[in-house]
Chain A
Amino acid sequence: SAVISQKPSRDICQRGTSLTIQCQVDSQVTMMFWYRQQPGQSLTLIATANQGSEATYESGFVIDKFPISRPNLTFSTLTVSNMSPEDSSIYLCSVVGGSGGDDYEQFFGPGTRLTVL
């Protein structure tokens, strides 16, 4: 399995500011994802974080708003830029596989609860 940590666990931010969320995995993983989950809703995939190249964004999400870095196989960051109250959500880092994990198992970090005032 993969153990994933995220920082910060929660934050309250002002409109117009930016927040960078960090995701650290305890083993090298090929695939890392960033999800958003709004209260009472299911998971929405923001992007796939690719090591050594630009992230692959889903429809409705753009790099200028959600820049992603993936400098190595165990770490990624997601920045929520120029925040508005609509960005208030839980942001989840996720990986597939990991040390001893099956190829199809997807593990999630504990999430970052973001509130934008």
Chain B
Amino acid sequence: GQNIDQPTEMTATEGAIVQINCTYQTSGFNGLFWYQQHAGEAPTFLSYNVLDGLEEKGRFSSFLSRSKGYSYLLLKELQMKDSASYLCAVLDSNYQLIWGAGTKLIIKP
């Protein structure tokens, strides 16, 4: 079966750095996405990785290791507005998005 695992909840301090991990087992791989979803709102696109390595976008970076079936989202200089759920999703061989359950990130002052 297809499976995406990410922690249910994480807590971090304003100004700090946090890493949210995602491991996956899917039938084929055509890329991995990270989305941010604030409570009561629709998900918004953060990043897309299809090759191994680190992609940096401002305060957010995303890393992929295809051989390990592993990705992480790194958030630096945390701000209170970063409190949200972060969803990991993998595009499988049928170009279907398989979604993780999301990681709720709580930022404390």
Q: Is the CB of A42 within 8 A of B44?
A: no
Stretch of A13-21, A80-88, A104-112 that contacts chain B: A104-112
- B87 with A42: CB separation less than 8 A: yes
- Interface-located stretch among B17-25, B61-69, B75-83, B97-105: B97-105
Q: Are B101 and A104 in contact (CB under 8 A)?
A: no
Residues of A within 8 A of B43 (CB): 43, 92, 108
> Which one, A41, A105, A108, A111, contacts B48 given CB within 8 A?
A105
Q: Return the contact of A110 from the options B41, B91, B97 (Cβ within 8 A).
A: B41
Whether the pair B101, A41 counts as a contact (CB closer than 8 A) is yes
Using known A-B contacts A41-B101, A42-B99, determine if residue A92 contacts B42 with beta carbons closer than 8 Å. yes
Count residues of chain A with CB under 8 A from any CB of chain B. Answer: 16
Would you call A111 and B42 a contact (CB within 8 A)? yes
Please give the distance in Å from B101's CB to the nearest CB on chain A: 4
A29 on interface, CB distance cutoff 8 Å: no
B102 & A104 in contact (Cβ 8 Å cutoff): no
B42 partner, pick from A41, A45, A109, beta carbons under 8 A: A109
- B100–A42 contact, CB under 8 A? yes
Interface mask (B22-44 → A, CB under 8 Å = 1, otherwise 0) = 00000000010100000011111
Q: Are B45 and A105 in contact (CB under 8 A)?
A: yes
On chain A, the residues within 8 Å of B44 by CB distance are 108
B97 to chain A, nearest CB (A): 7
Over the window 40-67 of chain A, the binary record of Cβ atoms lying under 8 Å from chain B Cβ atoms (1 yes, 0 no) is: 0111110000000000000000000000
CB distance from A42 to the nearest CB of B (A): 4
A8 to chain B, nearest CB (A): 15
Find out whether the CB atom of A43 lies under 8 angstroms from the CB atom of B91: no
Report if A107-B87 is in contact (Cβ < 8 Å); known contacts: A45-B96, A45-B97: no
**Given known contacts A104-B31, A104-B91, A43 and B99 CB-to-CB distance under 8 angstroms:** yes
Task: Out of B33, B91, B96, B102, name the residue touching A42 (CB < 8 Å).
Answer: B102
The residues of A with any CB-CB pair to B shorter than 8 Å are 41-45, 92, 102, 104-111, 113
